[in-house]
Amino acid sequence: MFSLCLNVLKICFLILPFYANAETCFAQKRFAQITLTSSDHDGIVATNSPVTLTASIKNKLDEVITGTVVWSAHSPVFKSPSPVQQAITLGRQQTSSHTFSFSMPSAGFAEIECQLVTSKNKKTRSARYRIGSHVEDIVCPLTRESDFFNFWQDSLAQLASTAPNFQLRPHEQPSQSKVSLFEVSMQSFDNVCVRGWLEIPKQDGLFPTVLRVPGYGQNMKPVGDQEDLIVFSFNPRGHGNSQDDISGKPQDYWVRGLDDRDTYFYRGAYLDCVRAVDFLCTLDKANQQQIAIWGASQGGGFAFATAALDNRIDLCVADIPFLCNWANYFKLTHWDEMDNWLNKKQHRSWAHTLKTMSYFDTMNLCERVTCQTIMNVGLQDQICPPTTSFAAFNRVPGAKTYKIYPARGHGLGKEHQQSTWKQIKDLFRSAKTSIP
């Protein structure tokens, strides 16, 4: 997805499926390693039903460690209980197990933290494991202003007033290829040029279409292996091959123009995605009743926003979505980049910043999503906590399904990618107009 900070510790989150927190990513280099497991293997438990967390704590040193194991539970939906402490003595290279029992008092997610505090020098190591309960019942208060929908109606009208000037430039493909490849350019909001890669089957017929949208800073490229779909791998402004007018560097999209809703980066980026739908609707081979949008992280947020702003979308697939439920997002995560932006100018405040961001919070848009919606999340995701994802998803009024990967963080793996391609095709095949 995205690198909101250039901090190496946080990049670890982007590329590793993790079972605990960032400190355990590097535990092999430190004095102790903590691995957490749950008695409930899928991590989703019934309210008021005890679940047992087990911490396997390994001493990495050739000396005895004594100290305290401290268990705590945190959630935005309930008051944290008092921490539980357990004494520990570990011989050199020894491993011991410690357990903690916890019951979710209400619907939502809770993060269980196990911390080892040494007696000798108060060094600490910790690991975290998230559990959830009755996630379909998570409802977070909307934060939109009274003119929220007028703002988006006016924004869409401004986009419509910009001539798209669609242009296709063919790219040579191997002779055995069953698809034609084009680089597509178009003019979007504020007359910004954006581009993407169109793969279209050479055979005759109507085809379902998948609009692929990027994670934070991701460069969308052709997929090369989908011969029975039209695939448009699209780069909104500042991404991939859409940097003629808007640079991708630095990758500070979420603070660009944040002083004013009219100039905020995501106003243009959301509208770029709508313009991409405009383009797809000009294709003779595109089945206009089978247009899907699919993205992960920032792309998951783009998927929610586009499906809300454009009812021509027939299927929305949002993986580990970002851009959701800002009020809780900043309670559950911390980003130096946002703090630095706030501190640069005296007039900036959290209250004004969150007000501006509320216009781009997909939670505030999702009640306008009328198409079938699929969401997939990693239960252990520290970049986009599932509390925020479900705050948006649960506002979708229509048909919807979700999948929670209990051991995954901010990344769902190659098998998930493959299964999602199949799922999209199967869903469109089950419709009246089938894939050729």
Identify the CATH number of the domain in which residue 89 sits.
2.60.40.10
Tokens of 216: 């934070």
- Which among 277, 295, 299 has a CA at the least distance from the CA of 286? 277
> Which pLDDT does position 432 carry in this prediction?
55
Same domain (yes/no): 306, 362: yes
Identify whether 142 is part of a domain.
Answer: no
Query: Three-class SS of residue 286?
Result: strand
Tell me, yes or no, whether 1 lies in a domain: no
For residues 118 and 69, state if they share a domain.
yes
Domain endpoint, select from 98, 116, 137: 137
Answer yes or no: is 15 within a domain.
no
Same domain? For 111 and 201 the reply is no
- Residue 5 resides in a domain: no
Q: What is the C-alpha separation between 201 and 205, in angstroms, rounded?
A: 9
Q: Which of 105, 137, 169 is the last residue of a domain?
A: 137
- At 156, give phi and psi (nearest 5°): -65, -35
Short-list 225, 269, 239, 286, CA closest to 435: 286
Instruction: Say which residues have a Cβ less than 8 Å from residue 302's Cβ, sequence separation at least 6.
Output: 213, 214, 236, 269, 270, 273, 293, 295, 323
| Cα–Cα dist 184/182, whole Å | 6
Residues 6+ apart with CB under 8 A from 293: 210, 211, 213, 273, 277, 302, 303, 306, 307, 313, 315, 316, 317
CA atoms within 13 Å, Cβ hemisphere of 433: 11
Residue 307 in domain:
yes
- Do residues 41 and 163 share a domain? no
Answer for the pair 118, 152: CB distance below 8 angstroms, yes or no: no
> 272, 278 in Cβ contact below 8 A?
no
109, 137, 165 — which closes off a domain? 137
Question: Are 6 and 337 a contacting pair, CB within 8 Å?
Answer: no
Residue 13: its pLDDT value, please? 32
Residue 273 and residue 212 in contact, taking contact as beta carbons nearer than 8 Å: no
Half-sphere exposure of 332 (CA within 13 A, CB side): 28
pLDDT value at residue 121:
86
Looking at the fold, whether 375 and 417 belong to one and the same domain comes out as yes
Report if residue 9 sits inside a domain: no
The pLDDT, as a whole number, for residue 23 is: 34
Q: Do residues 102 and 217 both lie within one domain? A: no
270 with 309, same domain?
yes
Determine the Cα angle at 246 with ends 212 and 272, to 5°.
35
pTM score: 0.91
Range of the domain at 97: 31-137
Give, for all 436 residues of the chain, the pLDDT tens digit.
444 433 333 333 333 333 333 333 333 358 999 999 999 889 999 999 999 999 999 999 999 999 999 999 999 888 999 999 999 999 999 999 999 999 999 999 999 999 999 998 899 999 999 999 999 999 999 999 999 999 999 999 999 999 999 999 999 988 889 999 999 999 999 999 999 999 999 999 999 999 999 999 999 999 998 989 999 999 999 999 999 999 999 999 999 999 999 999 999 999 999 999 999 999 999 999 999 999 999 999 999 999 999 999 999 999 999 999 999 999 999 999 999 999 999 999 999 999 999 999 999 999 999 999 999 999 999 999 999 999 999 999 999 999 999 999 999 999 999 999 999 999 999 875 444 4
> What pLDDT is stored for residue 40 in this prediction?
86
Residue 333 lies in a domain: yes
Residues in the chain: 436
Q: How many separate domains does the chain show?
A: 2
Look at residue 27 in the predicted model and tell me its pLDDT.
Answer: 36
Same domain, 326 and 264: yes
Enumerate residues 6+ apart whose C-beta is below 8 A from 139: 391, 394
- Do strands 193-201 and 315-319 pair parallel, antiparallel, or not at all (unpaired)? unpaired
Asked if residue 262 and residue 352 are part of one domain, the reply reads: yes
One domain, residues 228 and 341: yes
396 token code pair: 């979708």
How far is 299 from 239, CA to CA, in rounded Å? 12
Instruction: Give the residue from 235, 240, 232 showing the smallest Cα distance to 291.
Output: 232
CA 179 to chain centroid: 30
Residues 287 and 352 placed together within one structural domain of the fold: yes
Q: What is the CATH number of the domain that holds 368?
A: 3.40.50.1820
Residue 6 lies in a domain: no
56 and 108 inside one domain? yes
- Inter-CA distances, 268 with 155, 209, 274, 434, Å: 9, 23, 10, 34
